[in-house]
Structure 1
Amino acid sequence: MHVHVVLFDGFDPLDALGPYEVLQAAALAGGDVTAELVTAEGPREVPSGIPRLTLRATGTLDPAVADVVIIPGGAGALSGDGEHTVQAVLARSLETGLPALAKLALEREGTLVATVCGGSLILAMAGLISGRHATTNHQGLDALAATGARPVRARLVDDGDLVTAAGITSGVDLGLYLVERETGPQIAHAVETLFAHERRGTAWSPTGPTAAW
């Protein structure tokens, strides 16, 4: 499983590094997992939304290469002109090559797209997940619904080739879930034990009987 964790100007560091570190630990535990930080533009220094915190992307987002593409949300503290809200940061990502590449990833058979926090809003605002079940930070569920997506108030939502996670810390849960789903429970359990972290809640899926309430 080769994973591209996508960075963009103003990304939230924990959204990206939570699943990234889980994936790297899974590789050390013996899982067939590789992960790299990428951008739509290629290798570069990428300023996060946290002041003075920058990460270096070493590759280019390529849906034809990645088995999994993970898109984080934004932190909303970029310097420079304009607004610095999370919404503004997410909106600016739509002006890059990210939406077009995300569209290719969603259309490509065998590629899984995952998001953390506001990452699902990037897809939704780009018109890529209308009618799809997804989650995001609880403060963004109404915005998600306004795009035509089908918001679910859950920590993780598995909609087949689209897996979305809620608030910032859910990125660790997302990483563990993807490791379990794609490489098996023993590697996921080993990483969970190493991190002294247990996933919270049920990964919601549009399968099985509907609950009565």
Structure 2
Amino acid sequence: MTDSPTPFHIVFLLFGGITQLDFTGPAQVLSRIPGAMVHTAAKAVQPIETDSGFAILPSTNFPDCPQADLLCVPGGFGIRDVIQDEASLQFLRDQAAGAQYVTSVCTGSLALGAAGLLDGKRATTHWAYTGLLETFGAAHEKARVVQDGNLVTAGGVTSGIDFALTVVAEIAGQQLAESIQLSLEYDPHPPFNSGHPDVADPAVLKLLQERVYARQASELAHIIDRL
């Protein structure tokens, strides 16, 4: 008879307007750590609307949430509300104080910044918002995954899977991380070479900036200036 693995508590912050793949991608990987216990925390245990047209029900509220061994903040357009909500920011501060890993995906890094957890750190975020990191005292590093001590930040959306595999390798060994990658058949060969501004068609980049990200980045910058 073998001993059960030590519980490893993984806490994801959920909020309205979350980009669900920022959360579900890493969760799929991290949940396979031996002893993993995944907790989805929100201000209230009620359905959280995602950016994909469906809702997620959190497993716990802030007061009842266990202490995280790994804390993760996903991103999404709803992050603008998180960075203005003191209860959410205090939850992040409290959890980060006892966590082995403090992590984010996409614009989740901005919530860590607003909570005072990026000052003096190297970090990354979605390519459209990297210029906002310096307002929180962070130095942007151009990479899909950036680790500075126990802080691990990932770039936009799909890079959350990369961050999760990186952390699994550190916690439980590269062989387990590779076996998880294989079991998920995570072997990206996208149909288009358009996954980053460095390689995308400039016309596509310009269109996306004009229609979505320039306005969103400007609005976030104004909110951050008022914090």
**Fold-level similarity (TM above 0.5):** yes
**Native 8 Å contact 2:9 2:66 kept in 1:** no
Measure how far apart 1:146 and its partner are. Answer: 2.5
Helix, strand or coil: the match of 2:41?
A: strand
Deviations 1:116-160 (A, max 9, x none): 000001111343311111100111111112322111111101111
Aligned pairs for 1:74-89 within 5 A = 74=76, 86=77, 89=78
Deviates more, 1:58-67 or 1:134-143: 58-67
Separation (CA, whole Å) in 2 of partners of 1:42 and 1:182: 31
Aligned residue for 2:47, secondary structure, equals strand
SS in 2 for 1:144: helix
| Alignment correspondent of 2:92 | 102
How far residue 64 of structure 1 moved from its aligned partner, in angstroms, is 5.7
Shifted more, 173-182 versus 163-172: the winner is 173-182
* 1:173 aligned residue: 162
Higher normalized helix content (fraction of residues) = 2
Per-residue deviation, 1:5? 1.4
Partners of 1:63 and 1:131 lie apart in 2 by 28
Matched with 1:38 is 41
Overall identity of the aligned pairs, in %: 29
Aligned-residue RMSD, C-alpha: 2.0
Do 2:10 and 2:71's aligned partners in 1 also have CA atoms closer than 8 Å? yes
TM-score scaled by length of structure 2: 0.72
Higher mean C-alpha deviation, range 8-17 or range 184-193: 184-193
Equivalent residue for 2:183?
Answer: 194
The alignment status of 1:143 with 2:132, answered yes or no, reads yes
Aligned counterpart, 1:16: 23
Give the conservation status (yes or no) of the 8 Å contact 1:105–1:112.
no
Counterpart of 1:59, as a letter, is T
The residue number in structure 2 matching 1:55 is 56
Residue 103 of structure 1: CA displacement? 1.2
Following superposition, the deviation at residue 38 of structure 1 comes to 1.7
Which protein shows a greater Rg? 2
Q: Number of matched residues?
A: 179
Cα 1:60–1:198 shift into 2, 3 Å: farther
Gapped regions of structure 2 (runs ≥ 5): 1-7, 189-227
Structure 1 unmatched ranges of 5 or more: 75-85, 200-213
1:21-79 CA distance string (max 9 Å, x none): 1123x15xxx232212222x2422111133x31111112346762101110001xxxxx
TM-score by length of 1: 0.77
Determine if the alignment matches structure 1 residue 73 to structure 2 residue 75.
yes
